[in-house]
Amino acid sequence: EDQVTQSPEALRLQEGESSSLNCSYTVSGLRGLFWYRQDPGKGPEFLFTLYSAGEEKEKERLKATLTKKESFLHITAPKPEDSATYLCAVQAVWLTGNQFYFGTGTSLTVIP
Amino acid sequence: EAQVTQNPRYLITVTGKKLTVTCSQNMNHEYMSWYRQDPGLGLRQIYYSMNVEVTDKGDVPEGYKVSRKEKRNFPLILESPSPNQTSLYFCASSPHSTGIGGYTFGSGTRLTVV
């Protein structure tokens, strides 16, 4: 069964304390892996797309990496404004269509 | 401003009363999709559309209908809402017909069915 699992569910960091969020997946026909940020009461905001193992993308304090079975979102020297829920999604493609699967997210709190 | 607009933002309705949630995007995107978000279950895809007049089921399509008569609009219809459809709904669009490249999400519609 296609599945996306994120860990940890929640993470509290001191400002400046670097860490990583994990997204592991088991889907066949993987087309891409996506990271989103979601603030309370808002729709998710697109961060990155990764297409193949070994690929890396960076944006400010965030860096996303991809292996064959998982992706990591590394947060370097986080600030309080980085507090949000981070969602991972994968797109599976087959002959008759395609589908997106989202993980349940990691809730990140950065303490000043 | 490039955006996906959903209406209404909040809706309380009674069981069995038909309702429509509208979604419109101004980015000329090919792909549009509806999701529901529930605590502990994450975002689950309801329906998607790769182009005008082309729609397909996602993971949880039961109890929902959609149509894509124009490129910019993708309404979600609940013919006979039930309490288990109480949820936070998001419409999203993507520039490519396959959905690849990342979504732009709307601000969400919080639906309560009593």
Chain A interface includes B41 (CB < 8 A) = yes
* pLDDT one-digit tens code per residue, B69-111: 999 999 999 999 999 999 999 999 999 877 777 899 999 999 9
Which tokens sit at A97? 């269509």
**Which residues from chain A sit within 8 angstroms of residue B101, using beta carbons?**
49
* pLDDT one-digit tens code per residue, A81-107: 999 999 999 988 765 567 788 999 999
pLDDT value of residue A100: 84
**Residue B85 burial by CB count (10 A; 0-12/13-18/19+): exposed, middle or buried?**
buried
Distance from CA of B114 to the nearest CA of A (A): 22
- In whole angstroms, what is the distance from residue B78 CA to residue B65 CA? 6
- In whole angstroms, what is the distance from residue A62 CA to residue A48 CA? 10
- In whole angstroms, what is the distance from residue A77 CA to residue A80 CA? 10
- Peptide bond between residue A8 and the one before it cis (omega within 30 degrees of 0): yes
Chain B interface includes A26 (CB < 8 A) = no
Of residues B40, B42, B56, nearest to A102 (C-beta): B42
Strand, coil or helix: A110: strand
Residues 6+ apart with CB under 8 A from A64: A35, A47, A48, A50, A56, A57, A58, A71, A72, A73, A74
